[in-house]
Structure 1
């Protein structure tokens, strides 16, 4: 067998082994974070402080994006439904699209790009400047003091941000469909209320946001804690957080949706 092919196969094998090892290390780190969360939950002020940086500072991009997504849904939905004489059902289209899919997924993607990258950069910078090492020297566990509060803040923030995204998105669809185009307001709201089911739409949407919140925040804190203590290392970790989180969100969305719709059938 030619030497180049052998080297190529060997390189692929090394990458696969490294990926499996890294996945195992990340899983161990995640379990360690859960086990050491007692300090953060007892001193909940640590989590509240991170809630501000993780959740409150993400409100602007969530609200503005949700408004425009809802407006686009209202416009496109009206143009499509009008061809079939069902323009009064635009409220149903907007609400179901946001509650089932776009609300959880787009909000999670925005959360990963804004809050997830910030968490990774902050923890990575603390590692690069040896703040984490200094904590260990003072007998302070950096996972309990730094990682766990940020993890729980992200998990708590994500469902609320997704709910706000969907709510403001419905309002954006209302502005375009009812206020601008002139769809009957009563039909808009009544058909929406009849179509949206609390169990299969709202609860499933909440489950998605919770899963996305855990996945994104777990990836963010791990990448920050595992980053190389250099500027290039922190930059690479931040990029990996956004890319890995985005892929995880889309993959988990498919898996969760397949199970949820199977339960509806």
Structure 2
């Protein structure tokens, strides 16, 4: 992998992390189509890109994160009623994250190696496309805000997020669909979806970072730095793009893209196994 390929993978990861098109599927497809070989440990490289995306979403939603954290702690310690909504919202994030972790591990164990073959990716991309069509043409946004959310919302959205363990199922798309299906309005659904990505990516990073080899990053310092910066910058672009597209009801473009890409993967690179 040279510096240009590292930059390309960083851009792909950053843009697709928060757009409803599945970052994991796009990384696999780009590597297969262009024959990009990541020297060393691919998992370490992917965790690095995810951490860049985590940094981007944390910076973008820093005000919301601060509000929820301060409100949660204030209500927990001081029982201030004005902070009850943030306290409940914090628990809804915790509930959904827990459900995602448990079901995600279960799905991973059940599917085994089949979870990363291109046949699975192709079908999953098509399903993601259908999800996105549902957002605009099948599911009417509700009127419920954070104040009206219940533990059932956290449970259902957590299940939706767990489906994104499959490369090709978009985390953003599945959480948006389930949140809107629960009757949340678009603003609340988008906010919940983005904030849910933080503990999920953070958990993966914390679990995998101690396993990373210092030698790997010293050996490929230029490539990893370029990929990290590319992922960070384009993740910020992807966040702004998705918010704008949801508000303007333009997700059908992403839906059509995912279905076409899924069909392409299914018919033309279905026989390729990905390790």
**Normalized against structure 2, the TM-score is what?**
0.29
Higher gyration radius (CA): 1
Which is helix-richer, 1 or 2? 1
Greater RCO, 1 or 2 (C-alpha within 8 Å, sep 6+): 2
